[in-house]
A and B are shown apart, each in its own frame.
Chain A
Amino acid sequence: MDRKIVLPGEKIADGRINAPNTFSDGTATYAAVIGMMDEENRYVPLENRYKPVVGDVVVGMVTDVRHAGYEVDLNLPEGGFIPTRDIRLTLQLGDFVICKIKSVNEVGDVDLGEVRRLPKGKIIEFPSAKVPRLIGRKSSMLNLLKDYSGGEIMVGNNGYVWMSERCDMPLLLKTIKVIERKAHKSGLTDEIANMLKQEKGERPQTVQGEEYV
C-alpha cells in the first residue's frame, strides 16, 4: 500500500503550503491532525473538527425559538442563527433545516440564510472529514444510497446527515457505518454498490413509501 498515515507534527511538504489542518514554520509544512498521503502525495486529514466556511451547506436542528430568530444546532461549539427578518417560514423547536452559511465572524458565530425546512426524518452525525466520501464523485455515492433506501438524504458539510422517514433506515445506517469505516479506501462506491445488491437480494423486497401514502 502506498497510503501512509501521518501523525500531528509530521512533515508533509517542503516550503509553505496553505492548506487546512496544517501548520508551517517557514521552511516546511507539517500535519496538525492525523491524516494520510493519497496517491498524488497530497495530505488528506482523517479526523478534523468542522470549521464553518461561508457558502457551506449545513444541516441542523432548531434548538431555540426567539423573537429575533432561531438557534440551530450545527455540531459546532456554538449554534448557528437564523434571523427572523430574513425568512418567511415559521420554524418550530425540533425542526430540521438545511441552509447555507451566510457569514462567520472571527469568534466563530454563524449566521444562516437560504433556509429550507426538511420533512420528518432523522439526523445522524458523520465525521465531517469524511463527508466528501459519503457524497462521492458527482454525488455517485449519495445517489446510490437514495436509490437503495428509497428516500431522500441530505448531507451537510458540518457532518449532519438528514434522512427522510421514507428511507430504509436499518439498511442506510449500516451502509453509512461501513462508509465511515472504509472512508479512506479507493473504489468505495463500487464496493458499496455490490454490498447493497447482495443485501437487497437476501432481504424480502420492501415496497417503499406505500404505508406513508
Chain B
Amino acid sequence: MSDSKGTVPLMINGKRTDGREVEDLRNLRIEVGIIPEADGSAYVEWGGNKIVCGVYGPRECIPRHDASPYHSIVKCRYMMSPFASLEEHSRSGPSRRSTELSKVIREVFENVVIAEKFPNTQIDIYIDVLQADGGTRTASITAATVALANAGIPMKDMVASVAVGKAGDTLVLDLNKAEDNFGQSDMPMAMSQKDKKLLLLQMDGLLTKEEVIEMVGMAERGCEKVNAIQTSALKRFYEKGEDETVKW
C-alpha cells in the first residue's frame, strides 16, 4: 500500500525504517517477578512496547458456574492503558479489540497449562499494556509465559511469540507500528518451543501460499530467539540468590 500510494517507504536499500535487517528483532528485555503480591509476574519491553503481566491462581473460581470439576479454567484479561499509544485508545476498559486479544491469548495458554491438576479453580492472567508500538499481542504472550513459569503453574511447554509480515514488498520479522499500520500484511504467530506447535495464527492482508510457508519458517526462527531471552531472564532471576551478599 505504501508503494502504490507513494506514502512512507518501509524498505530503504534493504533496511527497514528503524535500520533493522529483515530478520532482526527489536530490543527485547524481560524482567521476572516484579509484582511481589502476584503469584507470578513479568515485565516486557519490546521495542516501544511496555507490558506488565501478573498471574494469580489457581484460586477459587468466580463466578462459581464457570468452574469445572475436571480442570482449572484459564482466564485472561488484556487491557491497553488510555495513554498506551497516540491515537486509538482514548479511554480504558473493555473494547472490541481487547476482548479479541484476551480470547486469543487465553486459547494459547489453554493448550499448554496442565489444568487437570486443579479442579474447580481458575488461573488468572492479567496483561496491561502501558505503551504500545505494534505487536502487543505477541509481546503479551511472551510476557504471560514467563509470568506463568514464575507462578509455578504446571505447563507442558514454554510459548514464544512473534509477528511476521510483509512491508514494502518484503517479508519482515517482528513488525513495528509503522510496518503494522502501513505494511501489506501482518501475521502474528505463537509457537510452543519443545513441540513446535503453532498455538496462534492470525492474518491481516493478502499473502500467497509460498509467502505463508516462508513466513512460518521465519516465525519459527524468531520464536527461538525470543525463547532464548525468556530462558535467560528466568535463569537470571532464579540464580540471583546464589552469589548475592545479604544485607540485614
A residues contacting B by CB (< 8 A) are 1, 3, 5, 7-10, 21, 23, 30, 32-34, 36, 45-49, 51, 77-78, 106-108, 129, 174, 178, 181-185, 195, 199
Contact check, B58 vs A49: say whether CB atoms are below 8 A apart.
Answer: yes
Interface of B is mostly: mixed
**B interface residues, tally (CB under 8 Å):** 37
Interface of A is mostly: loop
Contact check, A7 vs B154: say whether CB atoms are below 8 A apart.
Answer: no
- Given A9-B158, A23-B156, A181-B241, verify A108-B149 contact (CB < 8 Å): no
Q: Which of B152-174 contact A (CB under 8 A)?
A: 152-158
Contact check, A184 vs B241: say whether CB atoms are below 8 A apart.
Answer: yes
- Given A181-B241, A182-B241, verify A8-B246 contact (CB < 8 Å): no
3 smallest beta-carbon distances between A and B, as pairs: A47-B152, A32-B154, A9-B157
- Given A5-B234, A174-B248, A182-B241, verify A32-B155 contact (CB < 8 Å): yes
Contact check, A5 vs B238: say whether CB atoms are below 8 A apart.
Answer: yes
Additional A-B contact list (8), CB under 8 Å, known A77-B57, A77-B60: A5-B234, A8-B155, A33-B154, A33-B155, A34-B152, A36-B238, A49-B154, A77-B118
B149 CB to closest chain A CB (Å) equals 5
9 CB-based A-B contacts, threshold 8 Å: A8-B149, A33-B153, A34-B238, A46-B152, A47-B149, A77-B120, A108-B120, A182-B246, A195-B246
Nearest CB in chain A to that of B119: its residue: A107
Q: How far is the CA of A174 from the CA of B248 in the complex (A)?
A: 7
Contact check, A8 vs B154: say whether CB atoms are below 8 A apart.
Answer: yes
Q: How far is the CA of A46 from the CA of B58 in the complex (A)?
A: 17
Q: How far is the CA of A39 from the CA of B148 in the complex (A)?
A: 27
B191 CB to closest chain A CB (Å) equals 12
